[in-house]
Structure 1
Amino acid sequence: MKQSWVAGAQAPDCDFPLANLPYGVFSTAERGPRCGMAIGDSVLDLSELAAEELLTGGDLGFDRPALNHFMTLGAETWAAVRARLTDLLAEGGDPALRENVALRDRALVPLDKAQMHLPVDLRGYTDFYAGRQHAFNSGSILRGPENALTPNWTHMPIGYNGRVSTVVVSGTPVRRPLGQLMSADGPKFGPSQRLDIEVEFGAIVALPTELGQTLTVAEAWEHLFGFVLLNDWSARDIQRWEGQPLGPFQSKAFATSISPWIVTRAALEPCRRPAPKRDNDLLPYLQEDADYFVDVKLEAHLKPEGAAKASRIVQTNTAHLYYSAPQLLAHHAVCGCRMQTGDLLGSGTISGPERQSFGCLMEQSWGGRDQIALEQGGSRIFLEDGDSVILTGWGEVDGQRIGFGGCEGRIAPAPKAVGKAF
């Protein structure tokens, strides 16, 4: 496998080797947001390469504060740019960047000097419920194991439209939400006491559809640009009271965190895996003619305020999903719903068969019944103010990590009052 000459790219624990090349948007103290690519310990400023005419293909949009324009250019352009950047960054490749000291100093920005932003101008956010173990666990907690899965669950991806306005990039604090809570004496109002995480995988839609247009699963795969880590923070007590009959609303609308780096389909190509065994045949429009699942390890770490180290609380894998990202997109579009460049599709919580692989605290505590022991001492049932949660994820290709970096959020206290006091 080719290696990069950029510092840090050959380290065994590096998330960003030459085989990865994820896209993001960053700024520096000297200049505002523009498009970049993670390589080793650096962000490669793609706008600098475009200005020096080291990248061909017309206006790639890398001087803009979002990747939307580049994503609309399609798979042929994406592949050509990836091949060109691989050549510029590879040992023994084109020396136009490596041997141009002035350009190299401008274009390679240390990761710790870069401020990361949302990588795309998000147009819509839909969260699904595509993990079978999570659906079974949460259904068992609420309704008992005999009624855990609703009759429609094994026939189609279940989802709801979320709030794109509160999707935030990793590092953005998450304020504990206020809302109505169920009690024995009727509803009361106050801060959520059952604040939770959801370990998810997000897919970014690149190519739009027209109103009324449908997609096959194969076509939907070609409309996707890549993937991000996603934590759909959840207020379980608010959700329990408000959820009937229409499902989540304010319990999910206060914050959803995503990682700043989009790992492309091309980078994860060697990680593709076949679909899981089905409970029943899917209807033809959801059937797959190729391997559209990916093998990506996911972890969640919890760091209490003042703690020296974080404790790992979740180890799971995207292979535990029952529906693939292109199935989610194909189902979303089958009614004729117009999909847009920059739409975000969340997988829903990803849980495996063991307690440690359950992707949220509600499952791990079994609805609040059990304490969750932390590796570094102490325990949790749900999140406390000051807790930080960090998601990490990576595929493996020839012994190298195809990583996403981190997706982090810290819980800030709820507002003390409603209105201007905030």
Structure 2
Amino acid sequence: MAGCLLSSCQVTVHRRCSFFNKNGESKPHFQISRKMKFEIELGAFISRPVLHGNTINAKIAADHIFVYLLHNDWSARDIQAYEMPPLGPVHAKGFITTISPWIIKMIAYQSSPGWGLNTGDLTGSGTISSPAPEVKKGLGTYGCLLEVVAQKHKLPAVGGKPMSWLEDGDRLTIEGFFTTADGSKGGFGGLSSVVVSGPS
């Protein structure tokens, strides 16, 4: 996990290397990922633990949350496609998580199996997609780059070139805000990252 607590912070994200099949090849090779993607999530840090074997309900879940934050659950999609059957994502999702500089879900569901939660644990909501005037049937409103690609949604050009998977040198900034009942706005600060080639 990597994160920062300064509003000017920018995280460097190194592409993951692992085994996967490329261009229809039958044999996997150890190589660098070319299909890096983001997943916009809401995260929360746990303050009061939920002991192993115990559960809590939604009415008291907020008592166990220290703060909320923006959370980017990075993935290397080409590696993930190879790893999923039968292992699940290991190298594809286990290389970096970035969080917003200031940290402002429902914990009840996370505690329901009785596994416990510890002080300092970071939880993520899963991909949050934003409302949009036109939504194609299927995966929703593009809170993650895979949704965009799967829906064949055309993204705006970046630097005069069409955008698809994240390229080396791409800077991704995620910002989020909320409006209170009295109309005031609060935010999480920008979560900014630059993709570079190869492991650090």
Q: Normalising TM by the smaller chain, what interval? A: 0.7 to 0.9
User: Of 330, 334, 339, which residue of structure 1 is paired with 2:108?
Assistant: 330
After superposition, the CA RMSD in angstroms is: 2.2
Question: Amino acid of the residue matched to residue 254 of structure 1?
Answer: F
User: Is 2:10 the partner of 1:175?
Assistant: no
Provide closer, same or farther for how the CA distance between residues 182 and 342 of structure 1 changes in structure 2, counting only shifts above 3 A. Answer: same
Helix, strand or coil for the counterpart of 2:3? strand
Distance 1:392 1:359 in 2: 12
The answer to whether the aligner puts 1:216 opposite 2:51 as a matched pair is no
Map of 1:242 onto structure 2:
83
User: Aligned partners of 2:153, 2:14: CA distance in 1, in Å?
Assistant: 25
TM-score, normalising length from structure 2? Answer: 0.84
In structure 1, what is the equivalent of residue 118 of structure 2? 340
How many Å separate the matches in 2 of 1:210 and 1:362?
Answer: 36
CA contact (8 A) 2:13 2:96 kept: yes
Change in Cα spacing, 1:338 to 1:172, as seen in structure 2 (3 Å) is same
Where do 1:127-142 residues align within 5 Å?
none
2:179 aligned residue (396, 403, 406)? 396
Is 1:412 matched with 2:190?
no
Counterpart in the other structure of 2:36: 195
CA-CA distance at 1:224 after TM superposition? 1.3
Alpha-carbon distance change, 374 to 399 in structure 1, aligned in 2, over 3 angstroms: farther
Take 1:344 and 1:374, find their aligned partners in 2: how far apart are those partners? Answer: 34
Using CA pairs under 8 Å that are at least 6 residues apart, name the structure with larger relative contact order, 1 or 2.
2
Query: What 5-or-longer segments of structure 2 have no aligned partner?
Result: none
The one-letter code of the counterpart of 1:180 is F
> Quick check: which has more Rg, 1 or 2?
1
TM-score by length of 1: 0.42
Q: CA contact under 8 A between 2:3 and 2:101: conserved in structure 1?
A: no
- Matches of 1:374 and 1:224, distance apart in 2: 39
Distance 1:228 1:216 in 2: 22
Q: For the residues of structure 2 that align with 1:387 and 1:255, how far apart are their CA atoms?
A: 16
Letter in 1 for 2:3: V
In structure 2, the residue corresponding to 1:203 is in which secondary structure? strand
Aligned length: 187
2:145 pairs with 1:361: yes
Matched-pair contact (CA < 8 Å) for 2:19–2:79: yes
Higher-helix-fraction structure: 1
> Following superposition, which runs of at least 4 residues in structure 1 exceed 4 angstroms of deviation?
none
Question: In 2, distance between residues paired with 1:357 and 1:208?
Answer: 34
Aligned equivalent of 1:384: 167
